[in-house]
Every structure is written in C-alpha cells, then in structure tokens.
Amino acid sequence: MTSKKKEKFIIKLTDTFSLSDTLECGQCFRWTKMQDQCYKGVIDGEEITVESDGKFLTFYTYNNEKLKTKIIEYFDLNTDYSAIKQNLSSRHKNLDAAIKYAPGIRILKQDPFEALCSFIISQNNNIKRISKIVNTLCEQFGEKSLYSSTYSFPTPDRLATLKIEDLKVLRCGFRAPYLLDAFEKVATHKVDLENLRKIPINDARQQLMTIRGVGPKVAECTLLYGLHRLETFPIDVWMKRAMKALFPEFDPKNFGPYAGVAQQYIFHYARTSFF
C-alpha cells in the first residue's frame, strides 16, 4: 500500500441534509460509520471519507477534485428536496410526520448494477448480513484501491465469468443462482440497465423481472436507488405494516411522482420510531 495522504474538499449545503439518516435509512450497504457523522465508503470505485455537520459536507479522498461533481451527484445535492417534501407533506398528515421525523434523508444515486445485486441479496435477509455479503463480493471479485484496503464493486463482465461454486464464499444461500443470472443478463446486455433510465416505468419493471430472483420489490429498489426513478414505490414487510397503520384506505398512487421519496421517509420512520 502506497502511503499517500487524502486531500480534503468542502461542499456547502444549501438544503436540509443528514449524512447519518441518508446513509443509515436502509438504501445502501457499503458505508462504514467511523464516528458520529463520519463515514467511509466507495463512490465510483474511489474510497471516500465523508463527514457533515448539516451545513457543509466535507470529504477526503486520494483522487482529485473531479470527484466533487460525482459526490454532489451521488448525494443528490442538486435536487430541490424542499419542493419535493412540500409536495408530499400536503398529501397526508402522517406522511408529513414521517418527513419531519428525519427531514435530512435523500435518495442516493447509486450504481444501478450494485443496487440490483444488493437488493437481490436483500431478499428474506437482514441489513447486517446483506452488508456482509455485499462487502465479501467486493473483496473477492472487485479491484483493490491503489492507496487503501477498500475494493470497488466488481464489474458485470468480471462477475459473469464466475460459476456457482465461486460464490460459495459469499454464503448467500439460495440467492447465488439469482446473482449468476443477473451477472449474465447485465453483462450480455439482455438487461440494459442504463436504458432503464428513460423507458416507461412499467417496461423497466418488466425488463428487470426477467432476471431470476427479481420480483416486484427488488425491481422497484433497483429503479429507485440505482436509476433514480422517484415514481417507484418499493413495498416490503415494513412498508406493509406502515401502510396499514398510518395510511389505511390510502392508495400508493396518491403519493404522486415522488412516491419513492415518500417511501424512504415512511420506511425509516416505521423502522426506527413508529413501531
């Protein structure tokens, strides 16, 4: 490992933002908490340490300032969340309560392939073990960072060369064949992830669900967290409980074009406060 010092960059925040709520609300699996409001992770293959006091977002990286643009993009800092939250708050008083509970949450713009694989792994699983499996996948098949011990998320081409026995080290059980099918379909462009950004949402859902092990929930999470399709609305066990308790007789359609953002506030509220 080369000894190289990380450089420091500062981004001024212009809207409500919570680093911890954004990274710990269940949408991502590869960030490690270093201390309060300080996390280490990987964006676009580069190890990054990020901290925030809510007014500034400070990051440390071995790369140059070009990463600044990527980080602003990753944390979705150019989107007007006050407008989105205003839109959502007016739709239901309990949604307003969920938003006020953790108003600094943003929907990350993660890599779509990483999101797809992560949420295939997430099925019938818990967040701690999902993180463990995703990190092992990176350590086993990703590229090691030049200056540190972190690994990038492996490429579809690399993963498509693997056989079922290669995945035993992941200890991901019945999900292994699902991952293999995702690797193959993405690598061969039978499922073209980038194309899913622009096509009609139901076509995108159908495309993803041609992959074994990808049902409505995993497809929805891939579209929301990997492709920033904010109109999607992943429903898992927590969301079912929350909908029943907080929004009886309320159709998810009524959450409008930012239903995915609503979902994230409700999910976090349900999981950490309400029940």
Partner DNA sequence: CACCAGGCAGTGC
Partner DNA sequence: GCACTGCATGGT
Site residues for DNA per CB under 7 A = 25-27, 122-129, 168, 171-174, 209, 212-219, 221, 234-239, 263-264, 267
Q: Toward DNA, which CB reaches closer, 149 or 174? A: 174
């891939």: which residue's tokens? 222
Q: What are phi and psi of 141, to 5 degrees?
A: -125, -5
Candidates 241, 221, 233, 235; CA nearest to 260 is 233
Minimum CB distance to DNA, residue 107 (Å): 10
Residues 6+ apart with CB under 8 A from 165: none
CB of 180 to DNA, least distance (A): 13
Minimum CB separation of residue 215 from DNA in Å reads 2
Paired sense of beta strands 46-52 and 38-43, if any: antiparallel
Q: Which two tokens stand for residue 129?
A: 């073990």
User: Nearer Cβ to DNA, position 216 or 257?
Assistant: 216
3-state helix, strand, coil in the chain (%, to 5): 50, 10, 40
Shortest distance (Å) from residue 131 CB to DNA: 10
Give the separation between CA 116 and CA 225, rounded to whole angstroms. Answer: 9
CB of 224 to DNA, least distance (A): 8
How many Å separate Cα 263 from the centre of its chain? 13
Q: How many CA atoms lie within 13 A of 171 on its CB side?
A: 7
Query: Is the CB of 21 or the CB of 47 nearer to DNA?
Result: 21
Which of 59/112 has CB closer to DNA?
A: 112
Token pair recorded at residue 3: 């000894």
Between 67 and 138, CB nearer to DNA: 138
Smallest gap from Cβ 233 to DNA, in A, equals 8
H helix and E strand count, the chain = 12, 5
